[in-house]
């Protein structure tokens, strides 16, 4: 049966379409705060490291008990218009307990920033974190954080070649990889995406870097647009020579899909660290 999307705002609305969805993202605030405080008390958290001149150009860096095996950078979502890195600290646990340092950057939100400028800021944040931690780099991002990390591994990435060459794996979780549908939502009054920017900033419309390894991971109970966007990039980039996988995790929604990052043995964490 053929069908089209009539209500684009509903197509990308997560909380209103999940039972008790109003609890997120506030439900993450307290566990994230406690996790930061615990690591800080143990001398394993460096908070608010500057990577640029703007107030939100900061990242938190969490360190494992021993010498880091490498660096994981996790980029948060919020449709480029909301939230910051403080909500997600506890999701570093899986990688941290596996021996990796984890950086969680904030970035300047729209409408103050265009999407292209947010891309540039994330590039700056990854570069700054990479200067502090040796070894391979793995990227993870949720929702539009998935957009931002996959944007880093395109041929028009803002990253210098020396940093690009250290990226060994990327996981986009419930990622938004084609920005063109977002232009049809009311959110775009703040995002201000236009056709030219959508063309330049959509990973699905760009070429992956050579030797790209990408997992697109989504909750099986998510909105159909997130399922489509998840499969889309894995499909397109596989045809462009990247090593890709698309995973739909059963019984997970747009928010609970992140829970796997808290568990060192969860398949999501293992996919990131593979």
pLDDT above 70 covers what percent of the chain?
A: 100
Backbone phi and psi for residue 216, each to the nearest 5 degrees, phi listed first: -105, 120
Position 3 scores a pLDDT of 77
Position 180 scores a pLDDT of 98
Name the pLDDT band for 263 (thresholds 50, 70, 90). Answer: very high
Q: Which two tokens stand for residue 144?
A: 């539009």
The DSSP code for 109 is P
Give per-residue pLDDT as tens, 45-74. 999 999 999 999 999 999 999 999 999 999
Give per-residue pLDDT as tens, 210-225. 999 999 999 999 999 9
Examine the pLDDT at 111 and tell me if it is beyond 80. yes
The CATH architecture that domain 8-273 belongs to is 3-Layer(aba) Sandwich (3.40)
Count other C-beta atoms under 10 Å from residue 7's C-beta. Answer: 10
Position 23 scores a pLDDT of 87
Q: State whether residue 41 is helix, strand or coil.
A: helix
β-pairing, 167-173 with 213-219? parallel
Position 130 scores a pLDDT of 98
| Domain coordinates in residue numbering, the chain | 8-273
pLDDT above 90 covers what percent of the chain?
A: 94
Cα→Cα distances 263→86, 173, 267, Å: 19, 15, 9
Q: Which two tokens stand for residue 20?
A: 């008790």
Residue owning tokens 């405080």: 37
Are residues 170 and 147 in contact, defined by beta-carbon separation less than 8 angstroms?
A: no
State the Cα–Cα distance between residues 26 and 63, nearest whole angstrom.
25
Examine the pLDDT at 107 and tell me if it is beyond 80. yes
Please state the rounded mean pLDDT for residues 85-112: 98
Report which secondary-structure segment, H or E, holds 123: helix 115-132
- When the pLDDT of each residue in the chain is averaged and rounded to a whole number, the result is 97
Name the pLDDT band for 19 (thresholds 50, 70, 90). Answer: confident
Residue owning tokens 């991971």: 217
Position 240 scores a pLDDT of 98
Q: Is the dihedral of CA 88, 56, 108, 71 positive or negative?
A: negative
Q: Is 186 exposed, middle or buried (0-12, 13-18, 19+ CB in 10 A)?
A: exposed
Give per-residue pLDDT as tens, 126-161. 999 999 999 999 999 999 999 999 999 999 999 999
């Amino acid at each position: 049966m053929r069908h089209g999307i009539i209500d684009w705002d509903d197509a990308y609305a997560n909380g209103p379409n999940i039972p008790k969805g109003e609890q997120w993202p506030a439900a993450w605030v307290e566990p994230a705060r406690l996790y930061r405080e615990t690591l800080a008390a143990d001398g394993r958290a460096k908070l608010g490291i500057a990577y640029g001149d703007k107030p939100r150009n900061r990242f938190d860096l969490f360190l494992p008990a021993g010498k880091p095996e490498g660096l994981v950078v996790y980029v948060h979502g919020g449709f480029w218009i909301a939230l910051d890195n403080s909500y997600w600290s506890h999701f570093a646990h899986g990688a941290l307990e596996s021996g990796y340092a984890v950086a969680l950057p904030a970035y300047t939100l729209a409408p103050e920033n265009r999407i292209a400028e947010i891309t540039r800021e994330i590039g700056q944040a990854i570069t700054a974190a990479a200067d502090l931690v040796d070894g391979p780099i793995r990227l993870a991002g949720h929702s539009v954080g998935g957009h931002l990390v996959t944007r880093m591994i395109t041929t028009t990435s803002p990253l210098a070649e020396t940093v690009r060459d250290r990226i060994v794996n990327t996981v986009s979780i419930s990622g938004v990889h084609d920005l063109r549908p977002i232009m049809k939502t009311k959110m775009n009054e703040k995002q201000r995406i236009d056709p030219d920017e959508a063309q330049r900033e959509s990973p699905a419309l760009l070429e992956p870097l050579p030797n790209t390894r990408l997992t697109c991971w989504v909750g099986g109970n998510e909105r159909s647009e997130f399922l489509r966007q998840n499969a889309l990039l894995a499909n397109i980039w596989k045809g462009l020579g990247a090593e890709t996988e698309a995973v739909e995790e059963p019984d997970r929604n747009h928010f609970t899909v992140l829970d796997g990052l808290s568990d060192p043995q969860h398949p999501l964490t293992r996919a990131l660290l593979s």
